[in-house]
Structure 1
Amino acid sequence: MKNIIITGTSRGIGYELALQFAKAGHQVLAVSRKIPQTLLGNENITCLSVDLSNESELEKVKDFLSKSWKQIDAVVHNAGRLLLKPFSETSQEDFENIYKVNVFGVANLTRICLPYLQKGSHVVTISSMGGIQGSLKFAGLSAYSSSKGAVITLSELLAEEYKERGIAFNVLALGSVQTEMLAEAFPGYQAPITASEMADYICNFTLTGNKYFNGKVLQVSSTNP
């Protein structure tokens, strides 16, 4: 049984991840702004309502860890905020709002978790193919895709900084998955992979991927977008 933190569990991949880890017998801390009622009744899931864009709200996670868990075996940074807007209309505030969740939220939560991460722990950040250098890019996603590129570099740096402690940091850059967020970015597009199917892949990678990878970016994509 492992202790696993997952962000962005109100819907989509994060929601499915929480259920799959819990079903396998692991203890899950599900962090999201909105808490699905269907997660509350699960004895292996603890839900915390946290706005990752507000650093002070992460004190809820810090408080939970200090009282309930002695160690963290894995963290899945799955939460993400999307903005679809032409660059000429994208303000600094727009960029800041995206980066507060997609980059600063990842950094701040990781910092809180560090004292509880032991040798063999695995921190997985869910990025996007849009953040991969040289990949196909799409108009209107300048804030979102650049933020997903930023967390790739952050993860590579953390892997180097904490390798002596035996903590692995890896990134999964996802292609299209049939989620609400995909529908917002590409209305009408039908992805070949469901949220549940992708969650199954991420679940297995989280539990075993650190045996084979550290500081790596795996491109999990079969289509464009």
Structure 2
Amino acid sequence: MSKHVIITGTSRGIGFELVKLFSNLGHKVLALSRNSQPVSQLALENVTAVSCDLADEDDYKKVETFINNEWQHVDILINNAGMLLNKPFAETTISDFTKVYQTNVFGVSEMTRIVLPFMQKDSHVITISSMGGIQGSMKFPGLAAYSSSKGAVITLTELLAEEYKESGPQFNVLALGAVQTEMLEEAFPGYQAPTTALEMAQYVLDFSLTGNKFYNGKVLQVSNSTP
């Protein structure tokens, strides 16, 4: 049965691969990214690419209008958009922190809030976090803003699962280890991750379709590389 799926951060990496995978299975996709060109150029008939900046409040209205006019309901929301900053803490300004949190925390919170009224009891909200956001995991210098933001959405997910446990939907987080994406290459030039964007996208796809039968308010550590 065809699902209505919203994915953020679709211009490259895991998000871009997810759009193609969902489309190939016949699902309808709303692909959101500041740069909508990469998905638009795929010309997939069941995919709508919309330019959306998670820091721009007006862009959330575009999402709301689209759902109202085209779908009326949403089955899966994948909060995948992320901003990675690698910078010594002493040089990390309040503006740097604000930018990272704007996408990684406030963007997740607001997109979820906008989409929730259109979701059903068995709908599924998945937020992509990082092993760096897991308490007790290995930490890396330079990632104070990024990893702390990824910790924040883990707690947010636990809270939302509790708040909506009677009515649904289900909320889960995937804390990913290193995945070979453009974002990783920009932050850590030359580092080779053991997992490709396509491999991870396949896992996220499978989990988004079935994971909420077994999990709610949980963080799953999806990593074969980080202690």
TM-score bracket, shorter-length normalisation = over 0.9
Match of 1:141, as an amino acid? Answer: L
Select the residue among 105, 130, 133 that pairs with 2:132.
130
SS at match of 1:10: coil
The number of residue pairs the alignment matches comes to 225
The Cα of 1:114 is off from its aligned counterpart by 1.1
Q: What corresponds to 1:90 in structure 2?
A: 92
Tell me, yes or no, if the aligned pair for 2:11 and 2:38 is still in contact at 8 Å. no
Normalised by the length of structure 1, the TM-score is 0.98
Q: What corresponds to 2:154 in structure 1?
A: 152
For residues 37 and 84 of structure 1, do their structure 2 counterparts lie closer, same or farther at Cα, with a shift above 3 Å needed?
A: closer
Measure the CA separation in 1 of the matches of 2:39 and 2:167.
37
Measure the CA separation in 1 of the matches of 2:88 and 2:168.
42
List runs of 5+ in structure 1 lacking aligned partners: none
Q: Please show how residues 158-197 of structure 1 align to structure 2 within 5 Å.
A: 158-197=160-199
Q: What corresponds to 2:21 in structure 1?
A: 20
Superimposed CA distance per residue, residues 149-197 of structure 1 (whole angstroms, 9 cap, x where no aligned partner): 0000000000000011121000000001110111122221111111000
Q: What corresponds to 2:3 in structure 1?
A: 2
Larger deviation: 17-26 or 35-44? 35-44
Match of 2:107, as an amino acid? Answer: G
Measure the CA separation in 1 of the matches of 2:195 and 2:112.
29
Measure the CA separation in 2 of the matches of 1:37 and 1:108.
24
Q: What corresponds to 1:80 in structure 2?
A: 82
Measure the CA separation in 2 of the matches of 1:93 and 1:77.
23
Tell me, yes or no, if the aligned pair for 1:2 and 1:26 is still in contact at 8 Å. yes
Tell me, yes or no, if the aligned pair for 1:18 and 1:30 is still in contact at 8 Å. yes
The Cα of 1:69 is off from its aligned counterpart by 1.1
Measure the CA separation in 2 of the matches of 1:219 and 1:14.
18
Q: What corresponds to 1:120 in structure 2?
A: 122
Select the residue among 188, 210, 213 that pairs with 2:212.
210
1:61 aligns with 2:63: yes
Q: What corresponds to 2:106 in structure 1?
A: 104
